[in-house]
């Protein structure tokens, strides 16, 4: 422990360079235009993410690639001018249906380790996800906003 403290807070060139590297990395992490911190408000992503958690979003994740199923993402909800944190479930061209709170993709029930709190009154007729759109819902299916969002409404993907 004494060696670590001596190295971290010492006056040697290596110690100074180490502190400079840590400071530079921290500044890059905070001020880079490609990353953004998001404070989660609400319980719609419980149990994976809790109310008050802070996640780091990569903003340009989907400029060159397509979103994948189960990616946790921030999406812009135009209806209430609000940023939501949800999970991608349905991909373009897939048929999505909800029966008694359970999600079916192309007539097969979704088996995921994220979804909890099924609302047995939650039903949605079979709907095909349009091109460049994604079906998004929170992990706590009982109290989550859900819907179809255009790729341009996906602000970023959570890095952890």
What does the pLDDT read at residue 13? 83
Is the omega angle on the peptide bond into residue 47 within 30 degrees of 0, that is, cis? Answer: yes
What does the pLDDT read at residue 75? 96
pLDDT digit string (tens) for 2-18?
Answer: 666 666 667 788 878 88
**Do residues 48 and 114 make contact, with C-beta atoms less than 8 angstroms apart?**
yes
What does the pLDDT read at residue 95? 98
From CA 124, how far away is CA 110, in angstroms rounded? Answer: 14
Q: Delimit the domains of the chain by residue range.
A: 1-31, 33-158
What does the pLDDT read at residue 138? 93
Half-sphere CA count of 37, side-chain side, radius 13 A: 8
Does domain 33-158 fall under CATH 3.40.50.300? My reply is no
Return the closest-CA partner of residue 146 out of 57, 63, 45, 51: 45
pTM here is 0.78
Q: Provide, for the chain, the percentages of residues in helix, strand and coil under a 3-state DSSP scheme, each rounded to the nearest 5.
A: 20, 35, 40
Neighbours of 66 (CB within 10 A): 11
What does the block give as tokens for 54?
């802070």
What does the pLDDT read at residue 14? 81
What does the pLDDT read at residue 115? 82
Residues of the chain with pLDDT under 50: none
Return the closest-CA partner of residue 60 out of 73, 43, 70: 73
């Amino acid at each position: 422990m004494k060696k670590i403290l001596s190295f971290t807070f010492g006056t040697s060139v290596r110690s100074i360079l180490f502190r400079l590297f840590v400071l530079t990395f921290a500044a890059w992490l905070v001020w880079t235009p490609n990353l953004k911190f998001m404070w989660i408000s609400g319980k719609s992503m419980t149990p994976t993410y809790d109310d008050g958690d802070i996640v780091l979003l990569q903003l340009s994740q989907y400029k060159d690639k397509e979103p994948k199923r189960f990616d946790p993402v921030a999406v812009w909800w135009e209806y209430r001018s609000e940023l939501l944190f949800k999970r991608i479930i349905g991909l373009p061209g897939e048929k999505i249906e909800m029966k008694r709170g359970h999600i079916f993709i192309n007539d097969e029930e979704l088996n995921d380790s994220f979804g909890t709190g099924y609302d047995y009154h939650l039903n949605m007729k079979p709907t095909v996800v349009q091109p460049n759109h994604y079906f998004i819902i929170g992990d706590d299916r009982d109290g989550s906003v859900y819907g179809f969002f255009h790729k341009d409404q996906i602000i970023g993907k959570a890095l952890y």
